[in-house]
Amino acid sequence: MQLFLDLDGVLVDFVGGCCRLFGKSLNPYPPGLFYIYEAWEMAPSDFYGELARAGSQFWADLDWLPDGPEVLARVNRHVQDLGHEPVRFLSSPTLDPASWAGKAKWVERHLQDGISRLTLTHDKAELSGPGKVLIDDQPKNVAGWIARHPMHAYGLCLPRPWNPHHSRASRALAILDEYLAILGRLAVRNRGE
């Protein structure tokens, strides 16, 4: 089994970085509203244009989400306990090349040996396959991942304030643990076949 972790919204605080850049607040975050620019009533082109003007440093300087290090630690523990391949990192950059460079810088700075396990793509489902697992905060990414291999690929949409699972966001780590336990049982069962 191979696990893929999304960056923004799973490990990295993209929302907090945007609030700092734009000098605006999202506290409380509008439940279930995925796109920040909608909450601020901005045109997407204005929002992404400002991110482009901020350059790669915007992405490189993003903070961890408060539970991001613990999400990573729990996934790493699961991978090690079951002898799986090391966790891979998967992210969808904006169309601006600076976001690609900035995300790579963030990974180099925060994730030991992570740069060799980073894939940047606009279609995460391209990497889906039998025994591959995606943990993401965007429901459409998880749905696309599973749709490529419905009986053999797995995904978890980690509850966050901006996705449809917002009512369970405070339980994100407990839900992750439950999911990892299910994957562990599945891996053991598959080894026995």
Interval 134-143: pLDDT, tens: 999 999 999 9
Amino acid 1: pLDDT: 86
Give the angle subtended at the CA of 127 by the CAs of 178 and 165, to the nearest 5°. Answer: 35
Contact (CB, 8 A) for 36 and 81: no
What are the residues facing 4 on neighbouring strands?
Answer: 88, 134
Contact (CB, 8 A) for 51 and 37: no
The average confidence (pLDDT) of the chain is: 93
* CATH number of the structural domain spanning residue 106: 3.40.50
Interval 155-175: pLDDT, tens: 999 999 999 999 999 999 999
Interval 13-22: pLDDT, tens: 999 999 999 9
Say how many domains are in the chain.
Answer: 1
- For residue 136, give its domain range: 2-192
Nearest Cα to Cα of residue 136 among 34, 42, 62, 66: 34
